[in-house]
A and B are shown apart, each in its own frame.
Chain A
Amino acid sequence: MNEVNGSVDDGLVVKGLFAGYGRARAVSDVNLEIGRSEFVTLLGPSGCGKTTTLRCVAGLHVPQSGEITLGGARLYSPAVNIPPHKRDINMVFQSYAVWPHMTTLENVMYGLKAKKMPRAQARTKAQQMLDLVGLGEFAGRHATDLSGGQQQRVALARALATEPSLVLMDEPLSNLDAQLRARMRDEIRQIQRRTGITVLYVTHDQSEALSMSDRVVVMNQGVIQQVGDPWALYHRPENAFVATFVGEANVVPGTVADVGAHAFTVEVTGLGPGTVLDIARATAADCPAKGDAISVVFRPEWVRVPEETGTASSGGNTFRARLVSSEFLGDHFERTYEAGRHRLRVQAVTGPTSRPPEIGAEQTLLVTPENLTWFHREDAGDPAPSAHEDAAGEPTTVLGS
């Protein structure tokens, strides 16, 4: 999952990065490789160290240790610290940081003039960049007379104008309204594909990360949790944090009881005594051994309620669950069930024929073996029964947005 598109020598390499503020550590041992023309996103909740990592790459924050190289050139190491303006990197800021005392064109020309480009040439180039982001006719406007979305485009044009080897984007869309955000998401991605720039993007919004990135780096508490393409991240989470932060997920601890040719069976006593789930092997990159402690992951939309949809429950994993709450959203129900010790989130898609069940009703839930994924439990190194019991006794973590 750590394969890099393109040669590493052309891109950004971060090795063993530690950074913090005073005594507080924000980033611990971050290792990253970004290939040329790649769009990589750092994703995580606020305070996870993603912005600090970005600022270390930019040269706006001094790491405690580690090494950063870009295109083979060393930007930071214990002996070297290239100042930000000599790093061949540009950045789009969360607050846009469009200079209020300059026009739109002057904002975009700024970096070109800093590079000593002749004035006329810089003007042409800046105008091209403004045309690229669709602001060609606003060149003479004072930047602060523009709307938030337009200011963000100015910031984007400004960052692209200097043709840097790497463009950093620090939550550039978080100050825009939902509609504009979706449109800008699209536009940034298109411009990136067209110009072939390398982008390191920071966001806490998982849909932004999934929809835009070639690869996503999930971070939590200063530590990289998982690196992978959006599909792998969603369908092959490597731990509970990734499973629940990237999309919603039900995570249930279990023990591998039997390994077959096409599937293996997991005992999940937490969902009720004697409950076993079959997990298809084809969907797993590798297979756990018998007796392994694993966590089973299933997304709310992977669960069916056969008695309401009329599908046959044969060939799937079924277990009984009690309905706790149900919200009707038109195309589906957002439901919470209680099964054994766990509360489960379920997106129930039902047809027009069946009436919704009463709260408190006992129903059978169905998850097919193909719709289950898993990861080795974090406490798997200690297979003592008590730890097992504790883990199973915990309420299922259901996070995500």
Chain B
Amino acid sequence: MRRTSPGRGPRGNRALIVLVILLLTFLVFLPTALVLIGAISENPRDPLATFTLEALANSYGSPQIWRVLAETMGMSLACGVLATALGAALAWILARTDVPMRRLFELVVIAPLFLSPFIGALAFLELGAPRTGLLNQLARDLGLPAWASINVMTFEWLIVILALHYVPYGYLLVSGSLQNMDASLEEASHMNGRGTLQTALRISLPAVRHAMLSSVMFVTVSATGMFSVPALLGAKMSFRPLAVTVYRATNGYPSDYALAAALGTMLVLLSVVGLWLYQRGLRQSSKFVTVTGKSQNRKRIHLGGSRYAVILLLVVYALVTTILPYAALSLRAFSTSSSLDEIRFTTEVFMGVLSTPELKGALVNTVVVSVATALAAVAVGTLTSYVTERVRHRGSGLLNSVAMAPLAVPGIVFATGVFALYLGTPLYGTLAVMVVAYVASYLPHATRVTGNGFAQIDKSLEEASRMCGASRARMVSTVLLPLMRPSIAAAVIMVFLFTVREINTAILLYTPDTMLLSILSFNYAQQASLPAAAVVGLIETVLMIAWIVIMRAVLRPGNLHNRV
């Protein structure tokens, strides 16, 4: 007797599902498939013509590559653990203690998000390059012994710098989990005679354990795919992470796309394992969430005398991740010399870079690409999560998995697929192809954020609208979208920030006509014109902040009664 579900706008539903399937096929599935095909193809311009296993043999068969793989794993995992540990500690301090100026410090902790990791690494190079670094100059001037000087162009510092960039991710994941935790779980521990530390270790830590695991995995996967920072800091190292090896394979001469694709499949396999753990962690961590949504007045832990130590820690964090890097960049951008003895402030450098035609072009391109990407990714992400959360047709879970897949495909690898897909089409070499690649790359983020938004909206709010005589379109525009506004705003802001900073995908797809700020800064750095790179980095930050201000004004995400 069962018939395929009619009703509930059957044609509308089916059209929606078909639309999402088409979008995901072109955005995600085809490029990913081409990466895999590219690994066994002889000719990147015609990937389906002839096949060879040579590239696979050269990658999977090479002990040297396996060593690189192991080192890459080590680097990213160390990075993930470090970033998560620091992020979790900061999250606990800000969520549980009575540390003063909490709102300010919350901003301080996530501030590294506004600095592209590449520009951040550049700033650290300014600060800690052997001999010439600003901090090293300072140490010499102060007469500190030689051991006090630092060299950021080492494996250890590479991990630290990458980890510092990822601290906000760890913080946000753990902090969300801590805030959602039922306060009475901890109160019960206190009533049973456990002190602050014991409660934190025995109750809070296990409760956020899964969130921490998913943070470690997320950072690890992301760091595995990152090539720009290791390419910069590791220039003088023998260690060359897999992502950098992929980059060399595509950008070297002669370029070897098959090898790049084969190496890419290794990265994808690594990521898939990591992401499986990440998803699993996220699911498990929801066990501790209280669904009541009651705003519990949690009693905060009184820090007392140790308050100053905590503040000092936060100030040092701000100094290292934000103040010093921006100071170093500003010095580069507004001084003719980066030697501490010869500082002369001028806007010459800044204006000089600003007036170059390629910067103007890159700025316009970046704005166009980032705005288009933010809007398109959130639109596609909202459609996808609507289909998976609300239409719930058979196979909608699969759609969700496909939308999440780009997380497992590092940008530089994904770009080889996009490259293969659009090579020879009129789209190739346009901004549109970059938007297409970015939308796919950030689709997982947009889908997850909007999906959480849908999950938080009680379905009866929509049903009540239908019962009041509203058509589905009217229901969506008058009830669903207004309630989704905070999630949509968050997603639009997030994707924009990611896109402005993005290098990994763009590096393979840009042409001189489609230059972006991020690529420009990378190229400037490669050409050793550091002042120009610093200026571009600062412009990126200004762009991100401007977007946040505009979006908050337009979408007013905080205006909504947050008791949905």
Tell me the A residues contacting B by CB distance below 8 Å: 18, 58-60, 62, 64-65, 76, 78, 81, 83-86, 89-91, 93-95, 97-101, 110-111, 114-115, 142, 144, 155, 158-159, 162, 168
Contact = CB atoms under 8 A, between A and B. Distances in A.
A84 B561 contact: no
Nearest to B467: A91
Nearest to A84: B466
Interface in B1-52: 1-3, 5-10
Contact of A81 (B2, B7, B458, B475): B7
B156 interface: no
Given A93-B460, A101-B483, A85 B470 contact: yes
Nearest to B470: A114
A58 B467 CA distance: 7
Contacts of B474: 85, 114
B469 interface: yes
Given A85-B467, A85-B471, A97-B461, A62 B5 contact: yes
B7 A111 contact: no
Interface pairs A-B: 7 shortest CB-CB: A111-B468, A97-B460, A97-B464, A62-B7, A81-B7, A84-B466, A91-B467
A144 B470 CA distance: 22
Contact of B461 (A59, A76, A99, A115): A99
A93 B7 contact: no
B235 interface: no
B170 to A, nearest CB: 32
B463 interface: yes
Q: A81, A89, A94, A100 — which one has the most chain B CB atoms within 10 A of its CB? A: A100
Contacts of A142: 561
B273 interface: no
A395 B1 CA distance: 39
A114 B466 CA distance: 10
Contacts of B564: 100
Given A81-B7, A85-B466, A95-B460, A144 B563 contact: yes
Interface in B464-485: 464-472, 474-475, 478-479, 482-483
20 contacts: A62-B5, A83-B471, A83-B472, A84-B466, A85-B471, A85-B472, A90-B468, A91-B463, A91-B464, A93-B463, A95-B458, A95-B460, A100-B560, A110-B470, A110-B478, A114-B471, A144-B563, A159-B468, A162-B468, A162-B469
A158 B471 CA distance: 17
Contacts of A144: 561, 563
B469 A83 contact: no
**Dominant SS at the A interface?**
mixed
Contacts of B466: 59-60, 83-85
B467 A83 contact: no
Given A101-B482, A114-B469, A115-B469, A83 B8 contact: yes
A138 B7 CA distance: 37
Contacts of A59: 7, 466
A100 B467 contact: no
B460 A83 contact: no
Given A60-B466, A85-B466, A159-B467, 6 more contacts: A58-B463, A85-B469, A93-B464, A110-B465, A114-B468, A114-B474
Given A59-B7, A83-B7, A97 B458 contact: yes
A6 to B, nearest CB: 23
Given A93-B460, A144-B561, A62 B8 contact: yes
A20 to B, nearest CB: 8
Interface residues of B, number: 32
Nearest to A81: B7
A101 B481 CA distance: 11
Interface in B245-269: none
B463 to A, nearest CB: 5
Contacts of A60: 463, 466-467
B459 to A, nearest CB: 9
A85 B465 CA distance: 8
A244 to B, nearest CB: 32
Contacts of B475: 85
Contacts of B9: 83
A155 B464 contact: yes
Contacts of B472: 83, 85
Interface string B443-469: 000000000000000101101111111
Contacts of B1: 18, 64-65
B468 to A, nearest CB: 3
Contacts of A168: 467
A84 B560 contact: no
Contacts of A158: 464, 468
Contacts of B483: 99-101
Nearest to A168: B467
Nearest to B4: A62
B5 A89 contact: no
A85 B470 CA distance: 5
Contacts of A62: 5-8
A222 to B, nearest CB: 14
B468 A99 contact: no
A309 to B, nearest CB: 49
A99 B471 CA distance: 17
Contacts of A86: 469
Contacts of B470: 85, 110-111, 114
Nearest to A116: B469
Nearest to B475: A85
A90 B465 CA distance: 9
Nearest to B457: A100
Contact of B561 (A64, A76, A91, A100): A100
A176 to B, nearest CB: 16
Contacts of B2: 64
Contacts of B3: 64, 78
B455 to A, nearest CB: 15
A91 B460 CA distance: 10
A232 B368 CA distance: 73
Nearest to A95: B460
B145 to A, nearest CB: 62
B180 to A, nearest CB: 19
Given A100-B561, A101-B561, A81 B6 contact: yes
A101 B474 CA distance: 15
Contacts of A18: 1
Contacts of B467: 58, 60, 84-85, 89-91, 111, 159, 168
Contacts of B458: 95, 97
A184 B451 CA distance: 36
A110 B474 CA distance: 11
B469 A101 contact: no
Contacts of A93: 460, 463-464
B460 A110 contact: no
A9 to B, nearest CB: 23
Contacts of B482: 101
Contacts of B563: 100, 144
B82 to A, nearest CB: 41
A99 B8 contact: no
B252 to A, nearest CB: 54
A391 B407 CA distance: 63
B99 to A, nearest CB: 31
Contacts of A97: 458, 460-461, 463-464
Contacts of B7: 59, 62, 76, 81, 83
Interface string B526-558: 000000000000000000000000000000000
Contacts of A115: 469
Contacts of A81: 6-7, 10
Given A100-B561, A101-B560, A114-B470, A84 B463 contact: yes
Contacts of A64: 1-3
Nearest to A155: B464
Contacts of B560: 100-101
A191 to B, nearest CB: 18
A126 B561 CA distance: 22
Nearest to A93: B460
